[in-house]
Amino acid sequence: MHDKKFQVILTAFLVDIVRALTFLRSGRLPYLINWEASIGNTTFITLVISIIIDLKAMTAEDGPQIAETVADKLADVNLDTKHKEPNAKKEKKPKADKPKQGTILLDTLSSPSLLPLNLTVHPPPCRPTPFQPTTDPLFPPSITGRSKEVKKETKLGLNAKKEEDFSEWYSQIVVESELISYYAVSGCYILRPTAYSIWDSIKNWFDAEIKEMGVENCYFPLFIPEEYLLKEKDHVEGFAAEVAWVTRSGNSELERPIAIRPTSETAMYKTYATWIRSHRDLPLRLNQWANVVRWEFKHPTPFIRSREFLWQEGHTAFATQPEAETEVYEVLDLYRRVYEDLLAVPVIKGKKSDNEKFAGALFTTSVEAFIPMNGRGVQGATSHCLGQNFSKMFDIEFETEVEDKKDFAWQNSWGLTTRTIGVMIMTHGDDKGLVLPPRVAHLQVVVVPIPNSKLSEEDKAAMLGKSEELYTSIKKAGIRVNKDLRENYTPGWKYNYWELRGVPIRLELGPKDMVNGVCVLARRDTGAKELVAWGDVITRLPVLLEEIQADMFTKAKATFDGCLERATKWDDFMAAIDRKHMVLAPWADEVEVEEMVKKKSASEGAMGAKTLCIPMEQPELVEGTVCFASGKPAKNWALWGRSY
Ligand code: 87F
């Protein structure tokens, strides 16, 4: 009896030593150190006692399970710290003016065209770790098929509920689904391959569309001389506190500090002035895919608000105002399509109020999304008509077609960021994890064979063979597919694993299906399952993927519409805002009124409401309608809400 216990404990220790060595070799030591530092004494003692109790209940054959139990307990304790920023100390924001920003009509809120989009299909490589039989020295792949040896199951998934604790749910989902990892600089995040591949899909689609419009890609330096920024002093003023500066190289101070680009107007327009001399040099339509740094002091949220993020910034110059204005709306509609057609997220297109527009712009347009869980509007992307403001500042002057007549160029700038990914996660994710729209999903289908313990070795081999065969033909058809042939996990565990990662379709192959020549297609979005003959899989999958894409949008649109109310009186307006809804209300379009609404609608713990945009699609404004807040004659219907 004592011998057995000794064996058990010895096995557990050996297991831990090998694990520790594996950790060391894989460079994950800092993670362990972080863990040690993050649990208190009581937690530690409780943990040790519970491990001892579990060890006592086990036998020597349970060696591998013991290690798993220990690992699970460590993971449980670690869970709380795993989803938080390692370095989330509050930094004080230096005093600075709040950014001043500011103004139109609405296109139809049509549902996305379901014609196949010009998306580049990029089947992901078969990453060895998750998809191969385990190479973990402690858990060699089973050859005997005995259940104790084949099961290696750790807890998967989220323990926060989207409805109950949205912010905790979000913190968990981005990490657990392996989209992001935290980093040692607060407000900066690592985008893991799944996240980056979603960005790649957006980028590939948008890039092809703007090239079709005649826009070319370029790249300007990350660093901006101080004098360039000072040239645009008035517009940068509101953002000054967010600009990060390089002031030193090694031990020596730089003669003049150099800014890290928060946006590239100043970097690009100084050069545009040297390139644009004549009307023949116009239009100049450039875009760059880049990273930018804005030293935010508001609470950071992965994808939604980070100090460094990825974006595209378009900077164009035209000879005439109408040409520039046409482009503003063309780009705005591309942004709508990114959200609605690719990400299945409904948005409203509109013009920003004078308060909310970019101070350097003649007018700003945007697409606005909405997060029902916290009742917040979120600006999805912006397309600005800069008018001649910057060309006058940077001397972008050209000889017109009329002899001896010069004019300043008409300019636009427009941008879309990795915030898109955050809005998509928030819109579709559920308590099981991500729900990815097929058009941007890293993987669209995963093949999961479901053998049972009664299956003969021969039948099992046939099932694995068929799974391989289906996988190969699906891949050949240009669908992003993977297979999960791991033998040391149960089918149920694998379901959770792929559900957490949001794969739109799971193709299951069970013993009965092997007899009947069929397989099951299970949808991630609804959980619905259908039987499909092997010979029909290749034709059914693309259709089902498009059905999922369309259904996800329809569902999100119904929710979005359910959160949109109309109010013509203050009390109704406030009641809707407090129901966490967006409100369409008639208003006088005055800066002071917006300021007043913001103040008056704020309460302890709840920020004030502001205009999200003046929708391009306007309800009829009956003559005599008055502003809901000031009682003055209304000029338009504005969309109001609390926002990110
Ligand atoms: C932060 C620091 C310094 C926003 C900033 O929207 C300057 C700025 O100019 C700044 N945050 N902005 C406005 C950016 C305007 C515009 N630029 C090109 C876009 C889209 C892409």
Q: Is the CB of 358 under 6 A from ligand 1?
A: yes
- Residue from 338, 342, 362 nearest 352 by CA: 362
Q: Is the CB of 236 under 6 A from ligand 1?
A: yes
For residue 484, how far is its CA from the centre of ligand 1 (angstroms)?
Answer: 44
Q: Where in the chain is the domain with CATH 3.30.930.10?
A: 196-220+261-428
- 184-220 per-position pLDDT tens digit: 999 999 999 999 999 999 999 999 999 999 999 999 9
For residue 610, how far is its CA from the centre of ligand 1 (angstroms)?
Answer: 20
- Residue from 120, 53, 194, 134 nearest 501 by CA: 194
pLDDT of residue 8: 52
pLDDT of residue 605: 86
Q: Is the CB of 228 under 6 A from ligand 1?
A: no
Across 92-101, 290-299, 491-500, 552-561, least confident range = 92-101
For residue 301, how far is its CA from the centre of ligand 1 (angstroms)?
Answer: 19
pLDDT of residue 19: 53
- Residue from 20, 534, 582 nearest 348 by CA: 582
Given phi > 0 = left and psi -120 to 50 = alpha, else beta, which region is 551?
alpha
Q: Is the CB of 239 under 6 A from ligand 1?
A: yes
- 464-497 per-position pLDDT tens digit: 999 999 999 999 999 999 999 999 999 999 999 9
State the closest ligand 1 atom to the C-alpha of 315, by its place in the atom list counted from 1: 18
pLDDT of residue 116: 38
Q: Which residues pair with 619 in a beta bridge?
A: none
- pTM of model > 0.85: no
- Going by pLDDT thresholds of 50, 70 and 90, the confidence category of residue 139 is very low
Which residue's C-alpha comes closest to atom 12 of ligand 1?
A: 263
For residue 173, how far is its CA from the centre of ligand 1 (angstroms)?
Answer: 29
564-643: CATH number: 3.30.110.30
Which residues contact residue 335 at a Cβ distance below 8 angstroms, ignoring those fewer than 6 apart? 347, 367, 380, 381, 383, 414, 416
Q: Is the CB of 283 under 6 A from ligand 1?
A: no
For a mutational test of ligand 1's pocket, the pick from 239, 352, 362, i.e. the residue with the most ligand atoms closer than 8 A to its C-beta, is 239
- The values of phi and psi at residue 289, to 5°, are -95, 120
pLDDT of residue 77: 35
Which residue's C-alpha comes closest to atom 14 of ligand 1?
A: 263
- Whether the predicted pLDDT of 83 surpasses 90: no
pLDDT of residue 70: 43
- The CATH fold assigned to 445-554 is Rossmann fold (3.40.50)
Q: Which residues pair with 309 in a beta bridge?
A: 292
CB atoms within 10 A of CB 416: 24
Whose tokens are 């109790």? That residue is: 53
Q: Is the CB of 483 under 6 A from ligand 1?
A: no
Task: Give the helix ranges, DSSP H, for 350-442.
Answer: 389-394, 419-428
CA angle 66–72–74, rounded 5-degree value? 105
Residue 597 tokens, joined: 């609404």
CA angle 69–72–76, rounded 5-degree value? 140
Q: Is the CB of 413 under 6 A from ligand 1?
A: yes
pLDDT of residue 604: 86
Whose tokens are 């003046």? That residue is: 614
Calpha distance 132→148 (Å, rounded) = 19
Whose tokens are 């030293």? That residue is: 295
Which DSSP state fits 319?
Answer: S
For residue 350, how far is its CA from the centre of ligand 1 (angstroms)?
Answer: 18
Q: Where in the chain is the domain with CATH 3.40.50.800?
A: 445-554
- Whether the predicted pLDDT of 159 surpasses 60: yes
pLDDT of residue 17: 53
- Whether the predicted pLDDT of 87 surpasses 60: no
Q: Which amino acid is at 538?
A: I
- 265-285 per-position pLDDT tens digit: 999 999 999 999 999 999 999
Residue 449 tokens, joined: 């064979």
Q: Where in the chain is the domain with CATH 3.30.110.30?
A: 564-643
3-state per-residue secondary structure call for 368-379: EEEECCCCEEEE
Superfamily of domain 196-220+261-428: Bira Bifunctional Protein; Domain 2 (3.30.930.10)
Arithmetic mean of pLDDT, 95-101: 35
Of 474 and 31, more confident:
474
- Whether the predicted pLDDT of 125 surpasses 80: no
- 527-553 per-position pLDDT tens digit: 999 999 999 999 999 999 999 999 999
Q: Spell 286-313 as b/e; 16+ CB within 10 A means b.
A: bbbebebbbbbeeebbbbbbbbbbbbbb
For residue 376, how far is its CA from the centre of ligand 1 (angstroms)?
Answer: 22
The answer to whether residues 89 and 447 touch, using CB atoms and an 8 Å cutoff, is no
- Going by pLDDT thresholds of 50, 70 and 90, the confidence category of residue 14 is low
Which residues contact residue 571 at a Cβ distance below 8 angstroms, ignoring those fewer than 6 apart? none
pLDDT of residue 54: 44
- Going by pLDDT thresholds of 50, 70 and 90, the confidence category of residue 51 is very low
For residue 263, how far is its CA from the centre of ligand 1 (angstroms)?
Answer: 5
Of 152 and 580, more confident:
580
Whose tokens are 């302890």? That residue is: 604
- Going by pLDDT thresholds of 50, 70 and 90, the confidence category of residue 620 is very high
pLDDT of residue 177: 98
pLDDT of residue 21: 45
Which residue's C-alpha comes closest to atom 10 of ligand 1?
A: 263
